[in-house]
Amino acid sequence: MAKKGDWVRIHSIVLKAEERTAKLPEDTKKCDLQQWTKGFLQNEEAKLGDEVTVKTAVGRLVEGTLIDEAPCYTHSYGKFVPEIIEIDRQLREIMNFGGEA
Amino acid sequence: MALAKDYQSVMGRSNEIQKEALGLDYADFETSPISFDYDALMKSTGYTLDEIERIQGLHGVGNTPLLELRNITKLARKYAKPGFGARIFAKDESCNASGSFKDRRAACAVAHAKKLGYKGVMAATSGNYGAAVASQAAMQGLNCIIVQECYDSHGVGQPEIVEKARKCEALGAEVVQLTVGPELFYSFLSIMEDTGYFNASLYSPFGIAGVETLGYEIATQCREKLGKDPDVVVCTNAGGGMVTGTARGLLKAGCKAEVVAASIDLTGLSMASDVDFNKKSCTTGHTGFGVPYATDPDHSDVPRSAARPLRYMDKYLTTTQGEVMYMTEMLANLEGIERGPAGNTALAAAFSYAQELPEDAIVVVSETEYTGAGKHIQPQLDFARDNGIDIKFGDPKDDKPGTNLILPANPGLIKHKVADIEHFRKSLIKKAVKKAGVKPTAADLEFLAVETKTDVDFVKKTLEAEGLL
């Protein structure tokens, strides 16, 4: 349960698929235009899925569905990609770094 | 009474919103349905190159090192004919305050917004420009909102864009993230109307004037370090701002270097497709932006774009995603500088193009960019693999965007392709006339010749062939 003043993430539908009139590829036409932003919860308390209002970093009041409490970043340096090590090995070998073994 | 905020109503007020948000009326520069006074638009900033240098200098921007890439040059020469293999240099633009050349664009725009009394700035960008505007807004004491196209319809984001959102938030900005589609512009306009913030568009004259210092520095640093001008400057090309601003700066320095644009070839992937969105393994510096913006500059977030790359580019080279990833690793391993992949598009083109030039020629790559979690070849390759892209070593000529990603089996296989610039020039001329729906006047023909770095005869022939004259 999030409380007033907590930093949360909200989601909303800006345009439903059928409301999208711009020139779009067929696959995109079938999708809603969705939007996410973050801010301080303005409701006294709310649980995930509730319609809430937040105050964003610049002070805008924005409405949306509460989807995350205490949102954090999860992007990373990714899983191991062996090809990268092979590139490194190859380049250093061609350039003969460190001289003859 | 509150204004209606539905799609049609907001888009219908687009011109007024933009006028308010830029403090600039583009109608003042229109000279005919086809032409406008580009020089007057650029002069409308009211800032000289010296003033822009001063503003940038006050805000941690510009005067970045020009690094000679000696080992990369040495490697390129192994694949060149005897006596060939130009010296390759890179402008280390990652040294700017937020880590990319985009700070040059942002510094000037944000300073201008502050001067005009705006309380905040906004930009629509999924690229480094967001962090640049956020950084400058923080330094200059303004609020900042960045609107990003970030996710597919399942909420899966490109790691590179997710990282850029993090950086904007770290610098105090609000980040609004959207799924794929050009209606981002609607959200952007609507928020701009509500907040009354300044449109720090990538394509405003303030933004482009800010890049001129980059070209100017390249010319002056080459003169100081090497006692001569660069022969070639290679610029990564997406929206056209880097090519336009750098070329204008070179010209202001009296430097006649060849201006080469470089983009990753993403032919076959639709930029507005929800499915294709995450089949890209790079999110900028590719032909998906580069070609449409070059051939029709005026479809951005301002009525007339100040980025008009076909006015300035002499050649347009393409590379592949795999070549750029390989070059990024090369830059780290052979030169000891770890930088983000997107900025290395021009480096990949330069590595191969330098092999066609004599050893005493000077090739300058106009930028590097910061790297970090998400914005790095490992998460980008890992993301590609998770999205079913076949990553393997081979010959980059077998590259098929959205299907595979071919890392060159050896550096000798990195080979730029020469894009048909004449085709792009013709395309711009035809689009401009068709869009206006009028018969071009003599002044329009002159305008289109300048727009495409051609002559009136070329413009006439192009239009005659289409029955548009």
Q: CB-based contact (8 Å) between A84 and chain B?
A: yes
In a domain, A35, yes or no: yes
For residue A86, list chain B residues with Cβ-Cβ distance below 8 A: 393
Domain span at residue B375 reads 64-95+212-418
> Are B437 and B378 contained in the same domain?
no
> Are B373 and B245 contained in the same domain?
yes
CB burial string B441-466: b at 16+ within 10 A, e below: eeebbebbbbbbbbeeebbbebbeee
In a domain, B87, yes or no: yes
DSSP 8-state code for residue B171: T
Rounded to whole angstroms, what are the CA distances from B88 to B178, B291, B327? 39, 26, 13
Model pLDDT for residues B13-67, shown as the tens digit of each residue: 998 999 999 988 999 999 999 999 999 999 998 899 999 999 999 999 999 999 9
> Are B105 and B75 contained in the same domain?
no
The kind and range of the H/E element at B418 are strand B417-418
Distance in angstroms (rounded) separating the CA atoms of residues B271 and B255: 36
How far away is chain A from the Cα of B7, in angstroms, using its nearest Cα? 8
In a domain, A90, yes or no: no
In a domain, B129, yes or no: yes
Q: What's the CATH number where B163 sits?
A: 3.40.50.1100
Is the model's pTM score more than 0.90? yes
Question: Which of these three, B149, B165, B200, is where a domain ends?
Answer: B200
ipTM of the complex: 0.96
Q: For residues B258, B66, B164 and B210, what is the CA-based torsion angle, rounded to 10 degrees? A: -60
Q: What's the CATH number where A29 sits?
A: 2.30.30
> Are B142 and B237 contained in the same domain?
no
> Are B88 and B114 contained in the same domain?
no
For residue B74, list chain A residues with Cβ-Cβ distance below 8 A: 95
- Are B208 and B244 in contact by the 8 Å Cβ rule? The answer is yes
> Are B268 and B190 contained in the same domain?
no
What is the number of structural domains in chain A?
1
Identify the residue whose tokens are 């090519």: B243
- Are B120 and B142 in contact by the 8 Å Cβ rule? The answer is yes
Domain span at residue A39 reads 2-71
How far away is chain A from the Cα of B392, in angstroms, using its nearest Cα? 8
> Are B217 and B133 contained in the same domain?
no
Rounded to whole angstroms, what are the CA distances from B96 to B58, B62, B91, B99, B166? 12, 6, 11, 5, 18
Question: Which of these three, B379, B403, B418, is where a domain ends?
Answer: B418
In a domain, A78, yes or no: no
Identify the residue whose tokens are 């998400």: B374
> Are B162 and B193 contained in the same domain?
yes
Q: Which long-range contacts (CB under 8 A, 24 or more apart) does B431-436 make?
A: B431/B295, B431/B296, B432/B34, B432/B296, B433/B34, B433/B463, B433/B468, B434/B468, B435/B296, B436/B32, B436/B33, B436/B34
> Each residue's pLDDT tens digit in chain B (469 positions)?
689 999 999 999 998 999 999 988 999 999 999 999 999 999 998 899 999 999 999 999 999 999 999 999 999 999 999 999 999 999 999 999 999 999 999 999 999 999 999 999 999 999 999 999 999 999 999 999 999 999 999 999 999 999 999 999 999 999 999 999 999 999 999 999 999 999 999 999 999 999 999 999 999 999 999 999 999 999 999 999 999 999 999 999 999 999 999 999 999 888 889 999 998 888 788 998 899 999 999 988 888 999 999 999 999 999 999 999 999 999 999 999 999 998 899 999 999 999 999 999 999 999 999 999 999 999 999 999 999 999 999 999 999 999 999 999 999 999 999 999 999 999 999 999 999 999 999 999 999 999 999 999 999 999 999 999 9
* Cβ pair B274:A83 closer than 8 A: no
In a domain, A37, yes or no: yes
* Cβ pair A14:B270 closer than 8 A: no
In a domain, A83, yes or no: no
In a domain, B42, yes or no: no
What is the number of structural domains in chain B?
3
Distance in angstroms (rounded) separating the CA atoms of residues B147 and B155: 16
Of the partner residues B329, B330, B379, the one whose CB lies closest to the CB of residue A78: B379
> Are B240 and B343 contained in the same domain?
yes
> Are B244 and B313 contained in the same domain?
yes
